[in-house]
Amino acid sequence: RRLVRPLASFVRHNMTKACVVNAGRLDFDGKIDFCMLELVCGTPVTKHEHHSPTPSEIAQFAQGHTTLVTKEVPIDVTLLPDSITLICEAGTGYNNIDLTEATKRGITVCNVPAYSTDAVAQLVMTQVLNFSCSMHLQIHANANGDQTLFHGSNPFKSFGQLAHFELGGKTIGLIGGSGTIGLKTGKLARAFGMNVLVWSRSAKDCGDGKYKAASDLKELLNNSDFVSIHCPLNTATAGLLNKQTLGWMKPTAFLINTARGAVIDEDDLIAVLKNKTIAGAAMDVQHPEPPTVSSPLFELNNVIVTPHIGWKRVETRQRLVNAVAENVRAFLAGAPVNVVNS
Amino acid sequence: PRSMLARRLARPLTTLARHVMTKAVVVNAGRLDFDGKLDFSRLHEACGAPVTRHDDHTPSPETIAAYAVGHATLVTKEVPVDVNALPDSVRLICEAGTGFNNINLEDARKRGITVCNVPAYSTDAVAQLVMTYVLNFSASQHLQQTKLARGDRSLFHGDEVNGTSAFEAFGTLPHFELAGKTIGLIGGTGAIGAATARLARAFGMDVLVWSRSAKDCESGTWRAARDLKHLLSESDFVSVHCPLTEHTKGLIDEHALATMKRTAFLINTARGALVNETHLIDALESKTIAGAGLDVTDPEPPLEGSPLYRLDNVVLTPHIGWKRLETRQRLMDAVAANVEAYLAGKPVNVVS
């Protein structure tokens, strides 16, 4: 593989001793190929099989290494050894790393801004389609041997109780949907004949009619049959969907969250679902994650909950690891990319 | 809905000159309008006389014949009709659907009864259902939601008994992106197959089609398979889109299933008997294929003890492909249009 690569890469003088602190999360099925990362680093990469090491464990793992590769675990930057010059978050969200602290210590922090675009957009459409034909309720019934829809006294009438509609002409509202994942989701939704409404600080009406910009959150929520969240988690977006704003949604509408759990006030959401203020919710992210053992999210009838699978497809993770390798290569070449601190 | 009178007044003058009316009976409105949400006004208008509605969902052929007395037009959905038992008054049978295998066309011809169907009303609905199965399988939603329904939360909290983490538990489930995967459409050159192909391509899938009339589509929307074997061996998803005839019955048998990839999924939204169900159950139990999404079965519904209900790699739905509200309304309106055309002396969608 080294011989096959262009000659220029041989001239590289820099190497880096890298440590993947939680390969047990990134490569939970052992199917990911780390060779690009190994090649770029120029020396073997240390991999720890943990999925959620503590900040002090991470600091220990970091001893003797110059690059840290981490996925979705809190890092205490103050504990890291001086040898660390680069932290690669293997993912898009980096809210688990104190950037100010990293900058103070001269540590570059990179993320991978777009690797799960298709995967997440597909997941959103999966749940849109599931809600449109109540497939989750049917799978649930079948799982428990409930054959009412097949052999009940009137299977047709029983089926009539379930939501079942075509997507053509329905509206999906994308909150913060002008980023890559939002745009891809909008594109897929249009393939099904849906109308796309977007609310985002940077949204403008798309001239060729591909989507309409809502003037505010209320307008989006009032008019959408499906509401999907596509914004990062920050002080402006935490708890954006709460009792008041959820009340602006149609009672027949469904909420989908593949972004970050805390964008929704979860207690308010649970109350709203119990009251049937909205028709249902699909949550790939929760707050906390995973939900506690006693969380009502597991019990509510019209909730589809998944264990943050948006990034977990095998191709998605491979693309992610290769992108991390590319971030390392660019850093070593003196022209870092995807830097999130300055 | 506006009153019949108001609607008549609103229609162009020519229709007021129509002399022909028909006394119609919907023999199983309990199937067609199971939720009471359909608007029958176009049918009322087309018939020019009140339409009789029976709320049965599956009347017997004898019951249907009794309901038909005093009526000239029968509207029926997916129930066997004994044409020879019908009274002489019946001139028109409108199948409210695409498949008409439950009406003996030979008998109808002999009695001078016209039989119409509605060839394309569920196109989008069925294509959406196929993609629903495809997307669910690609994200193991059938397995995940089944676990949760049974109180198994190991994908969230790990399994203390086996000492596996949530991540390790998840690693046992197939979970892949659709881009570059292949969907094979058997008989896929009809409206539903084409709509399915278009949606699949929106997800970056490759589309392979096998049909007696398939040609390589020049725009690149799909490739034509050399033969069924080629389609089966290359596809990650196999979806059936052909009508049930004596030639296609049992098309998907043990040989076909063995030719499919072990990681592939079968989807049937067409007719149950296109698949040899015994062979399919064997293939699913032995994991010869990865799973099946079945909206149609033979018989329908499956018998109470059928393994199809308990197999984890099966997603079973009670023939919902045509049941969406908009789909059924479109169907009702199309039946009304068939009646109008027949009464105007220019019948359309005639299958007899």
Cβ distance of B166 and A307 shorter than 8 Å: yes
Distance CA B3, CA B1 (A): 6
Query: Which letter does DSSP use for residue A129 in this model?
Result: H
Percentage of chain A lying above the pLDDT 70 cut: 94
Q: What is the pLDDT of residues B271-329, one digit of tens each?
A: 999 999 999 999 999 999 999 999 999 999 999 999 999 999 999 999 999 999 999 99
Predicted local confidence at residue A65, as pLDDT: 97
Our answer to whether residue B340 is catalytic in this structure is: no
For residue B15, what pLDDT is reported?
Answer: 45
The pLDDT of residue B211 is above 90? no
Tokens 């690059």 identify what position?
A67
Among A282, A154, A149, residue whose Cα is nearest residue B320: A149
pLDDT score, position A10 = 44
Query: Is residue A11 very low, low, confident or very high in pLDDT (cuts 50, 70, 90)?
Result: very low
Whether B128 sits inside 8 A of A192 (CB atoms) is yes
Average pLDDT over residues A206-234: 88
Kindly identify which residue of chain A lies nearest to residue B323, measuring between CA atoms: A164
pLDDT at A186: 95
In eight-state DSSP terms, residue B49 is: S
How far is B339 from B311, CA to CA, in rounded Å? 44
pLDDT digit string, tens, across residues A183-201: 999 999 999 999 999 998 7
Find residues 138-157 of chain B whose CB sits inside 8 Å of chain A: 138-139, 141-142, 144-146, 148-150, 153, 155-157
Backbone phi and psi for residue B145, each to the nearest 5 degrees, phi listed first: -70, -30
The minimum CA-CA distance between B151 and chain A, rounded to whole Å, is: 9
Task: Tell me the mean pLDDT in the region A220-226.
Answer: 98
Q: pLDDT by residue (tens digit) across A259-299? A: 999 999 999 999 999 999 999 999 999 999 999 999 999 99
With cut-offs at 50, 70 and 90, classify the pLDDT of residue B219.
Answer: low
DSSP code, position A90: S
What part of A 93-132 touches B (C-beta under 8 Å)?
118-119, 122-123, 125-126, 129-130, 132
Q: Name the pTM for this structure.
A: 0.90
Q: Cβ–Cβ of A155/B304 closer than 8 Å? A: no
Judge whether residue A229 has pLDDT over 50.
yes
pLDDT computed for residue B244 by the predictor: 87
The answer to whether B326 contacts A290, with C-beta atoms less than 8 Å apart, is no
Question: Which residue, among B208, B38, B221, has the nearest Cα to A164 in the 3D structure?
Answer: B38
d(CA A252, CA A59): 49
Q: Do A166 and B326 touch (CB under 8 A)?
A: yes
At residue A248, does pLDDT exceed 80? Answer: yes
Kindly state whether A159 is in contact with chain B, defined as any CB-CB distance less than 8 angstroms: yes
Instruction: Encode pLDDT of B4-50 as tens digits.
Output: 666 666 655 444 444 589 999 999 999 999 999 999 999 999 999 99
Average pLDDT value for chain A: 92
Average pLDDT over every residue of B209-235: 83
Q: For residue B170, give the nearest of A28, A149, A165 by CB distance.
A: A28
Question: Who contacts B293 (Cβ-Cβ below 8 Å, separation ≥6)?
Answer: B130, B133, B136, B137, B265, B266, B267, B268, B314, B315, B317
End-to-end CA distance of chain A: 34
Between CA B5 and CA B44 the distance in angstroms is 11
Indicate the length of chain A as a whole number.
342
Asked if pLDDT for residue A202 goes beyond 90, the answer is no
The residue in chain A having the minimum alpha-carbon distance to the alpha carbon of residue B330 is: A166
A-chain CB neighbours of B301 within 8 Å are 147, 150-151, 155
The reply to whether B327 touches chain A by the CB within 8 Å rule is yes
pLDDT tens digits, B247-282 = 999 999 999 999 999 999 999 999 999 999 999 999
Strands ordered across the beta sheet of A280-283: A212-213, A195-199, A171-175, A226-229, A254-257, A280-283, A303-305
Catalytic hit among B71, B271, B328, B330: B271
Q: Which amino acid is it at B78?
A: E
Is B319 an annotated catalytic residue?
yes
Establish whether B330 is a catalytic residue.
no
A240 touches chain B (CB under 8 A): no
Mean pLDDT, to the nearest integer, of B117-136? Answer: 96
Judge whether residue B51 has pLDDT over 90.
Answer: yes
Residue A182: strand, helix, or coil: helix
> Percentage of chain B with pLDDT > 90?
83
ipTM score of complex: 0.90
- What six digits make up the tokens of B68? 């038909």
Contacts 24+ apart (CB under 8 A), B35-41: B35/A157, B35/A160, B35/A161, B35/B325, B36/A160, B37/B325, B38/B325, B38/B328, B38/B329, B38/B332, B39/B1, B39/B329, B39/B332, B40/B332, B41/B1, B41/B2, B41/B4, B41/B7
Residues of chain B in contact with residue A316, where contact means CB-CB under 8 angstroms, are 177
Nearest-angstrom CA–CA distance, B92 and B18: 18
pLDDT for res B189: 81
Dump pLDDT digits (tens) for B63-82. 999 999 999 999 999 999 99
Please state the rounded mean pLDDT for residues A89-116. Answer: 94
| Sign of the dihedral defined by the CA atoms of residues B55, B61, B66, B71, in that order | positive
